[in-house]
């Protein structure tokens, strides 16, 4: 086995900047690499750019630019975007650079020496957009299957004997069921191979750009052929020491380049060169926008860094957290079997549901209650077995998903623990335990904090900045070792907790403007209002009027500032067995975090009202302070939630 765990990603063609579809491939490699590092493995993660091919030369010529400067600029943009997305690779391969030229020529020569490359004449259709050869039967209405224009090519080329590897490829796939992830993709590849593999042209006439073939400088290596070699270029092959990094654990690709290239041509090239074949290839589905694949050629792109910046501005989260939001969204919708559809509405919805509501509330509630009920430090004692079981389940589910390179289910496993924590808080009701001085209180608070500590680790591969922020609020260093998840040692007793700071402010999703209505006829001028009468005390009321107002004791479960309002706080209040949302104009008097767990007096039979588009299902009683600020009324001693006030 190699000393390092190598993870590769398909390298994008440098004809434009990446969108969320191309970024997903490299992000998938980054998430996998971060997970493997947490497992204690020595990871070698490789990304890069594909810079050869006729299309690149023609694009540079069209702009009147030197092709070297052209690819340097675009490759630099890719690196900037990848790094901006928090992608941390160990090597970045550029196929126009000398190390790749050396490796490509060496592998081509070895295949020639082994009898797998021969000279011949190619006649057929060539799609310059995708740099792909097609048979007449492959064309659709005179265009490539991708809808691109094709050119008739007739030239002397070198060919690779791909047909010689049909049986060996089928044997490899059948003996290693997990070689191609997933079953759907594996079946597609098997069906493709069983149709019969044709020898494929692997060179083009030298246009003045590309990697010349050894001994035949008038020909360059076909761009798809040399691009595949990048994975082994990164190891340093053919120089000594490459064996420490190869074979790779996994190669991440999009589904469109799996069957013809990464699952057939590339492993056949390795077999022909007497080199080990990588262990797994994982192919994710496309991301669709408006029912179509996101494509640079179609112009329907969504730029990942712009998306991150936009959510940060609109929600008020930190810019680096906005990057994590994009990372979370893309991994959440990633699928190995099906395509995923991106909409801005779904992006916003997931931000609110997964991050603001679930994760943000779990963090804020847990820390606020720890400050209120146990002095703001991690309590001593054993965690609740129920919480330990939930942590173990989440970790095992995450591991199982990542063993199959399923990022969506892995993310779901992490957020399953978040949802458990919110439900656990509601069920165990720390405020009730504090009221009765129940001895279980320290164990419950510790269990809540241990769940948070475990969530921090589980979201770290996908949202590293968010994980650091959670660790900081817990007063602890980042948890980077997978084996420590859920351990008592990961949460030392006595650790001082920081005051909760919202990481994901709730996003107020704008509603579409109402349809325009016909202008109304002008109203007749009103008569002047009469003078306001002098103040008179309210008329006396009888006891029967007082009894109409239903006052009960409630407990604040959640509290957050209402976006767009300087005064309103949105509260989730439990009254007996009933949970209500109440908006109260107390923001200038109380910090939302200080309200969690507090008892309040609620007018329960007040007709619900809409305030700034949110429903309020009751009213809190408060006195006017000397400076005009609100002073909430509460029982002198703890009372059961729902207790009537007379």
* HEC string for 612-623: CCEEECCEECEE
pLDDT 10s digits, 102-111: 999 999 999 9
Q: Which residue has the higher pLDDT, 550 or 515?
A: 550
Provide the sign of the torsion angle of the four alpha carbons 99, 103, 106, 108, taken in this order.
negative
Listed residue (580, 558, 579) closest to 569, CA to CA: 558
Residues 6+ apart with CB under 8 A from 487: none
> Tokens at residue 179, please?
């070689």
User: Which pLDDT score is estimated for 144?
Assistant: 86
pLDDT at 471 over 70: yes
Cα 46 from chain centre: 20
Percent of the chain with pLDDT over 90: 67
Q: How far apart are CA 302 and CA 304, in angstroms?
A: 6
In Å, how far are 301, 514, 520 from 517, measured between CA atoms? 36, 9, 8
Q: How do 180-181 and 280-284 pair as beta strands?
A: parallel
Identify the pLDDT of residue 525: 58
Q: How confident is the model at residue 53 (pLDDT cuts 50, 70, 90)?
A: confident
**Per-residue pLDDT averaged across 85-112, rounded?**
97
- For residue 515, the model assigns a pLDDT of 46
Highest mean pLDDT among 125-139, 179-193, 627-641: 179-193
Tell me the mean pLDDT in the region 262-275.
98
Mean residue pLDDT across the chain: 90
Are 456 and 474 in contact by the 8 Å Cβ rule? The answer is: yes
How confident is residue 531, by pLDDT bands cut at 50, 70 and 90? low
Mean pLDDT of 243-256: 97
Whole-number Å distance between alpha carbons of 367 and 558: 12
Confidence at residue 347, expressed as pLDDT on a 0 to 100 scale: 96
Higher pLDDT among residues 380 and 15, named by residue? 380
| Per-position b or e across 338-376, b if 16+ CB within 10 A of its CB | eebebeeeebbebbbebbbbbbbbbbbbbbbbbbbbbeb
Predicted local confidence at residue 642, as pLDDT? 77
Side-chain half-sphere CA neighbours of 462 within 13 A: 28
Q: What angle do CA 566, 572, 573 make, to 5 degrees?
A: 120
For domain 358-490, the CATH superfamily is Isoleucyl-tRNA Synthetase; Domain 1 (1.10.730.10)
Please report which confidence band the pLDDT of residue 518 belongs to, taking 50, 70 and 90 as the band edges.
Answer: very low
Give the pLDDT band (50/70/90) at residue 594. Answer: confident
Q: Where are the domains of the chain?
A: 5-293, 358-490, 543-645
Average pLDDT over residues 177-182: 96
Q: What is the pTM of this model?
A: 0.82
CB 302 within 8 A of CB 313: no
Q: Is the pLDDT of residue 534 over 70?
A: no
Tokens of 285: 């589905």
134 versus 514: the higher-pLDDT residue is 134
90-99, 288-297, 556-565: range with lowest mean pLDDT: 288-297
Q: What is the pLDDT of residues 220-239, one digit of tens each?
A: 999 999 999 999 999 999 99
Higher pLDDT, 424 or 300: 424
Query: Above 80 in pLDDT, residue 535?
Result: no
Please give the average per-residue pLDDT across 118-142, as a whole number: 81
Distance CA 40, CA 481 (A): 7
Higher pLDDT, 271 or 618: 271
Please give the CATH architecture assigned to the domain spanning 5-293: 3-Layer(aba) Sandwich (3.40)
Tell me: domain 543-645, CATH 1.10.645.10, correct? Answer: no
What is the structure's pLDDT at 550?
86
For 365-417, how does the pLDDT look when each residue is reduced to its tens digit (9 = 90+)? 999 999 999 999 999 989 999 999 999 999 999 999 999 999 999 999 999 99
Peptide bond just before 238 cis, omega within 30 deg: yes
Q: Lowest mean pLDDT: which of 180-189, 416-425, 611-620?
A: 611-620
User: Tokens 């009933």 map to which residue?
Assistant: 578
Average confidence (pLDDT) over 426-445:
94
Given a cut of 50, whether residue 513 has pLDDT beyond it is no
Q: What are phi and psi of 89, to 5 degrees?
A: -95, 160
Share of the chain above pLDDT 70, in %: 93
């Amino acid at each position: 086995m190699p000393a390092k765990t190598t993870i590769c990603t398909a390298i994008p063609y440098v004809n434009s900047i990446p969108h969320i579809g191309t970024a997903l491939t490299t992000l998938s490699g980054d998430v996998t690499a971060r997970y493997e590092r947490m497992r204690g493995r020595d990871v070698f993660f490789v990304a890069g750019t594909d810079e050869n091919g006729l299309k690149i030369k023609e694009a540079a010529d069209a702009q009147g630019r030197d092709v070297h400067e052209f690819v340097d600029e675009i490759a630099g943009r890719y690196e900037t975007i990848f790094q901006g997305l928090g992608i941390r690779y160990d090597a970045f391969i550029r196929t126009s650079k000398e190390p790749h030229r050396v490796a490509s020529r060496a592998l081509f020569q070895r295949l020639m020496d082994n009898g797998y490359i021969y000279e011949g004449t190619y006649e057929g259709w060539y799609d310059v957009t995708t740099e792909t050869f097609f048979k007449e039967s492959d064309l659709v209405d005179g265009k490539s299957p991708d809808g691109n224009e094709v050119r008739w090519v007739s030239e002397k080329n070198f060919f690779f004997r791909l047909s010689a590897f049909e049986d060996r490829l089928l044997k490899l796939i059948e003996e290693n069921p997990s070689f191609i992830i997933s079953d759907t993709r594996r079946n597609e590849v098997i069906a493709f191979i069983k149709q019969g593999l044709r020898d494929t042209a692997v060179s083009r006439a030298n246009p003045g750009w590309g990697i010349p073939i050894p001994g035949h400088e008038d020909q360059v290596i076909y761009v798809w052929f040399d691009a595949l070699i990048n994975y082994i270029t990164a190891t340093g092959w053919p120089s000594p020491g490459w064996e420490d990094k190869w074979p790779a654990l996994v190669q991440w690709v999009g589904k469109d380049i799996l069957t013809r290239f990464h699952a057939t041509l590339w492993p056949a090239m390795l077999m022909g060169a007497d080199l080990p074949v990588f262990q797994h290839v994982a192919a994710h589905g496309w991301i669709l926008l408006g029912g179509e694949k996101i494509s640079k050629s179609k112009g329907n792109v969504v730029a990942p860094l712009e998306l991150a910046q936009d959510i940060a501005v609109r929600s008020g989260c930190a810019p680096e957290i906005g990057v994590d939001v994009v990372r979370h969204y893309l991994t959440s919708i990633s699928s190995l079997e099906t395509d995923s559809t991106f909409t801005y509405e779904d992006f916003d919805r997931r931000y609110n549901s997964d991050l603001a509501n679930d994760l943000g509330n779990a963090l804020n509630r847990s820390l606020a209650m720890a400050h209120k009920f146990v002095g703001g430090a991690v309590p001593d004692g054993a965690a609740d077995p129920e919480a330990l079981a939930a942590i173990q389940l989440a970790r095992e589910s995450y591991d199982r998903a990542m063993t199959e390179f399923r990022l969506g289910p892995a993310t779901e496993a992490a957020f399953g623990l978040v949802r458990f924590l919110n439900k656990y808080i509601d069920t165990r009701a720390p405020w009730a335990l504090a009221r009765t001085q129940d001895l279980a209180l320290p164990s419950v608070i510790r269990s809540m904090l241990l769940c948070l500590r475990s969530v921090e680790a589980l979201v770290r591969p996908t949202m590293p900045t968010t994980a650091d922020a959670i660790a900081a609020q817990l007063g602890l260093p980042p948890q980077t070792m997978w084996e420590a998840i859920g351990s008592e040692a990961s949460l030392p007793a006595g650790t001082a907790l920081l005051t909760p700071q919202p990481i994901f402010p709730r996003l107020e999703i704008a509603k579409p403007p109402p349809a325009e209505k016909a202008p109304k006829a002008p109203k007749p001028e009103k008569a002047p209002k009469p003078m306001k009468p002098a103040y008179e005390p309210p008329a006396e009321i009888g006891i029967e009027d007082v009894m109409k107002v239903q006052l009960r004791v409630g407990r604040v479960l959640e509290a957050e500032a209402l976006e767009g309002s300087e005064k309103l706080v949105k509260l989730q209040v439990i009254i007996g067995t009933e949970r209500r949302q109440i908006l109260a104009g107390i923001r200038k008097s109380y910090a939302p975090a200080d309200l969690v767990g507090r008892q309040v007096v609620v007018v329960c039979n007040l007709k619900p009202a809409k305030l700034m588009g949110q429903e309020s299902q009751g009213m809190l009683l408060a006195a006017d302070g000397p400076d005009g600020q609100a002073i909430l009324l509460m029982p002198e001693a703890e009372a059961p939630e729902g207790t009537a006030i007379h």
